A and B are shown apart, each in its own frame.
Chain A
Amino acid sequence: MAEVNETDQTPNLGDSTTPSQPKPEQITTTNVAVPIPDVGPQLQVVVDEFILKNGSSDEEVRTAARNDLRDFIEREEIGITTLLVVVKYAHEFKNADLLDAFCERVADLIKDKKVVGVREIFGIVNDFTPEEEHALRDEHPWAFED
């Protein structure tokens, strides 16, 4: 997982309680691109830009940043493996806004799907025993209906 120089990074990790506008000289030093492993350079750039703008004291800039990020996520149809990495990264570095935006994407992928569909999309292995699943199925047969 990416390493972070926390003393430099913390103010710029989208913490909306410290919305200080970074001075131009600081941008290059405190907002060093922290490579998120296994994601394309394009996403990295978008995330970094979001983090930067989200630290702004101007509400409009922050709103625009969030909208841009949402648009990007929808347009690019971010893949499952990438999504997982970004979500974990956002959670680990306590970037609530970044996490929120990507959780929306995950939620969209879950909506209107049956159990089998969700498992397939996320590559999740069913770890219920046949007996456990049978019990669940008996309680909620509708989840498995076609």
Chain B
Amino acid sequence: MTDSKYFTTTKKGEIFELKAELNSDKKEKKKEAVKKVIASMTVGKDVSALFPDVVNCMQTDNLELKKLVYLYLMNYAKSQPDMAIMAVNTFVKDCEDPNPLIRALAVRTMGCIRVDKITEYLCEPLRKCLKDEDPYVRKTAAVCVAKLHDINAQLVEDQGFLDTLKDLISDSNPMVVANAVAALSEIAESHPNSNLLDLNPQSINKLLTALNECTEWGQIFILDCLANYTPRDDRESQSICERVTPRLSHANSAVVLSAVKVLMKFMEMLPKDLDYYGTLLKKLAPPLVTLLSAEPELQYVALRNINLIVQKRPEILKHEMKVFFVKYNDPIYVKLEKLDIMIRLASQANIAQVLAELKEYATEVDVDFVRKAVRAIGRCAIKVEQSAERCVSTLLDLIQTKVNYVVQEAIVVIKDIFRKYPNKYESVIATLCENLDSLDEPEARAAMIWIVGEYAERIDNADELLESFLEGFHDESTQVQLQLLTAIVKLFLKKPTETQELVQQVLSLATQDSDNPDLRDRGYIYWRLLSTDPVAAKEVVLAEKPLISEETDLIEPTLLEELICHIGTLASVYHKPPSAFVEGSRGVQHKRLPARAGSGESAESPDTVSTGGVSEAPPAVIPSQGDLLGDLLNLDLTPPTTTGPPPPTSSMQMGAMDLLGGGLDSLMGDDSEPSHIPLRTDTPQSPQLHHHSPSPPDYSPTELGGDIGGSPAMGASFGAPPAVMPGSFNAPVSGGLSDLFDLGGGVGMPMGAYVPPKTVWLPAMKAKGLEISGTFARRSGVVQMEMTLTNKAMSVMGDFAIQFNRNSFGLAPAGPLQVLTPFTPNQSIEVTLPLNTVGPVMKMEPLNNLQVAVKNNIDVFYFSCQYPISMLFVEDGKMERQVFLATWKDIPNDNESQFQIKDCHLNSDAASNKLQGSNIFTIAKRTVDGQDMLYQSMKLTNGIWILAELKVQAGNPNYTISLKCRAPEVAQSVFQSYEAVLKN
């Protein structure tokens, strides 16, 4: 005979019939009727109309019938609160029944009837039951306090039940202790500030004792409660850990996980060098592995938690990779989690095995699993650098399978690999492009478009590829649209000539024909950037992207710590803090791991893989304000270390932006600091270089001629003569061919001004194939910038122009940069640019720093270089002896600086000769105690005099030089020039 018969009555007058039966005199019939009522209730029929009749059956000595009536009451009391009062008397009476089963049943059921009026009557019986002699009743009453608290917290506090409950923690029966702990924890959870649990070493000790004796569930309650305690020091922490570790051998997975939670939390406080710390780490691994043989749902919870544990303490499971290998019959959710952990454990040591497994998984049938496996290969490449190459080739193999979703997934991860290892695996792009047509998923399409845009300069038909996507622009998902927009703008900036139409098309599609605000915004930003300042656009759009790292998918450390405190719970499964998914928990304090005792270490243990919460930056990042400045200029713009106020950043930026835009406006007037460097009084003149207006060169044939005549020593320094110079006539002087310079190294000969060897100022890598190396020379009284331009790009260059940033001595190009065009690939050109010193002035640091912008048809490039200050020593820098003496005395001694020039093997005459070639003139020579003293003078283009005393001792390769100048800032640069001239 089964109960199913009770479900079968479905006649019309059922309720009426039942009513009659319930009121029957026969006990058996009554009971049958109640069962029918419960059966109806179970299948969801409303039988609340029978409330009074059922309650009438409550007074019975049949336990089964009583339980059924109680069940009915629990379900319907809320809908019939007034009538529920009828039941109170029976409850109160039952609470005093001699049978503990009935007492407990009554108190348990009363707590479940969530009707205010009833709860009032519950207090007295509950008080008695909390002190009942039978532990079964006490343990039930303990839970009832939590129930009552949920309904009416104030009442519970007023009645002092919380104190009684706390007393029960010391109860002799472990079941009672466990339930009291559970009830208090539950109450404490809804009142986080109540300090209800009041855990102290004494109460902890009681809990640990009860832990050994109570049921598996009681053990969980106690362990979860322990996890909220913070030990006073590492010794207490260790002793608790020692008493908790045996729980790791419990057969119930939930007990194990709760024990793991306590241990993970408390071991935070243990000193690392403690033996016990290592022992504990070793003890944690086996139980975690065993959790993987539990039921699949428990495996899932375990895996989600292991994922956290591996991030927090990777050493625990680092040797256990194999247990996470996926079995064919694992449920999908277990498979996916295992994969995740495999990647986290992947290291150089096991990568080969991991990759072999992943490749195996990638050929399975379960699409989601296969996708994740492919993705995992990419993550391995990013995580284990040594494996990157193998990963890429594995991915290429997979792409060859032509299985649609495998290909797409592979492309998505290859994009990430490009982000991690730029310029390394571009050879695969061709293979990727072959599969362009098969991409139908937005993420893969977006990834592919990103790749095309990013490497547009290497893909010949990049414009065609992108154009093909553009046709169905409005049918694409936002992700693809945004990426397409960015990619085409990139393409335009890289290949402006052929793609103007394309970029206009996409901008208008994005801004005018789209109603997606994100797309429109991005479209407008690009549009404005491109129309107002293509240079800035370039710097913004083509900015160097921060590399992505393996850490991108790690959980942020503070969240990780919080989640570790929630091991085993939903929070640990979701990897979200409880406040994210539990209502009303926002005010609740986030749990934190305790700080390590003794040492001043922060709670975050240093042995974890550095979990710097690097978040993945979106592919086209707009750098922050600070970066922008640096990036835009790509120059060393450290502000001068003068006492004056540093120039406001904005004006610096303005100046930088204006480099090519012309308008070096009045701003500069503010920056000049006449008190430090006596500057030329020339009105600053805007270079206006971008107009290519030929500003007259600062020299003329006549002037040159005069100079030559005036100082024959200069003869050797003709360098590359300006075109206006006719071929030279007299031999010694006419050595003015550039190559002669190299030959003229003979000692004793009057030598030309020192010209440093050419250095690379702008490497081709930074300038899209344009390499510039160069040096400065002063030839015939004219400062020149001598450059070698090399075209290392694949295309012809043209439209060259040059411009300087403001600098200490107002150096500015005296004419346009004349580069013979077409400047074809692999061609090198020597260019000489005459300079004048009438440009705008701004003190630089170092003083002789020069920031240069060079533009060509491809882009604008920036570099900075330093010129030897001797370039600026003018030819009439020889001071009268008298004036020299007076000036020397006049300049305060504070302004004098001394330097040593080491390893110089010239005698004083040779040195004097050599220096004169660079316009450092010897005025007098004195010999004291076998030591030659040379008194020298030089004058800078801006009229500043520098006086020098050079001590040369025969046989001593070390010279001493003293410099005196009214602008002492120049001393360092002058000294450098001395050194350079003397040693070359």
B is a partner of A: no
Binding site for B on A (CB under 8 A): none
